[in-house]
Amino acid sequence: MPGARICLGQIGAPHGVRGEVRLRSFTAEPAAIAAYGPLESDDGRVFTIETLRPTKDFFVVKLAGVADRDAAERLTNTKLYVPRERLPEPQAPDEYYHADLIGLRVVDRAGRPCGTVVAIHNFGAGDVIEIRPYSGDKTEMLPFDAKTVPDVNISAGRIVVSSSPPAGEDGEAKPGRARGLPGKRPLTRSTAGSRRRRSTLSRKGRG
């Protein structure tokens, strides 16, 4: 998707008094975050990692131009991005960058329009796609697996879902709830994913 950016990490609390910060990396190889060149924040600021060292649960990094604890503290919770085109194409089958999935049209097997992908989540039991129906109703959650999502076509700008949503009053199809998340409240886990599954990528399960 032209102009898309991928979130590779997030700055945490300051570490010490010399401007170092804690950093959580979302890349498949966590230490590789330092190899992607300058990183950008939501507001367009550019950051360069000068040093990076691992601890048990995060990295401690020194960012160029961040010289003291006060400056480091102002960066807490800042997300760091790179342009989508700077990243290699996913190598594993049925693996996609979140940025490539968000915004895709959703249709059922008959080609009827269902909505648009608005987000990708992982609550601990596998990746889940969030779909907003064209009617503007409440979003729907569907498992991102081969049974529920049999086809993903990035170049065509759409995904196919296996359910057959009922048509609304306007004739547009709506995603059914039958394949939504089970239970009342899912077990929560950071949407950044576990240490082995990083938020930049989603992989379709076997269903």
Q: What was the pLDDT predicted at 203?
A: 66
Strand 105-108 and strand 158-161: the pairing is parallel
Report pTM.
Answer: 0.63
CATH code where residue 11 lies: 2.40.30.60
Q: Are residues 99 and 82 in the same domain?
A: no
Are residues 198 and 102 part of one domain? Answer: yes
- For residue 79, give every residue at least 6 positions away whose Cβ sits within 8 Å of its Cβ, in sequence order, or none: 7, 9, 10, 11, 41, 42
Please state, in angstroms and as integers, the Cα–Cα distance from residue 20 to each residue in 52, 59, 135, 142, following that order: 10, 10, 48, 40
Q: Are residues 109 and 186 in the same domain?
A: yes
Give the domain-ending residue among 86, 111, 130: 86
Q: What is the pLDDT of residues 136-189, one digit of tens each?
A: 778 999 999 999 999 999 999 999 998 644 443 344 444 333 222 222 222 222
Of 67, 86, 105, the one marking the end of a domain is 86
Closest CA to 66 of 17, 8, 12, 24: 17
Residue 100: domain span:
95-203
Among candidate residues 86, 104, 134, the one where a domain is terminated: 86
**Averaged over 7-13, what is the pLDDT?**
95
Residues 189 and 122 in one domain: yes
pLDDT in tens, 44-95: 999 999 999 999 889 999 999 999 999 999 999 999 999 988 888 887 778 8
Token pair in block for residue 140: 């729907």
Distances (CA, A) of 116 to 42, 106, 174, 180, 196: 23, 5, 11, 16, 28
> Do both 197 and 134 map to the same domain?
yes
Q: Total domain count for the chain?
A: 2
User: pLDDT-derived band of residue 102, with 50, 70 and 90 as boundaries?
Assistant: very high
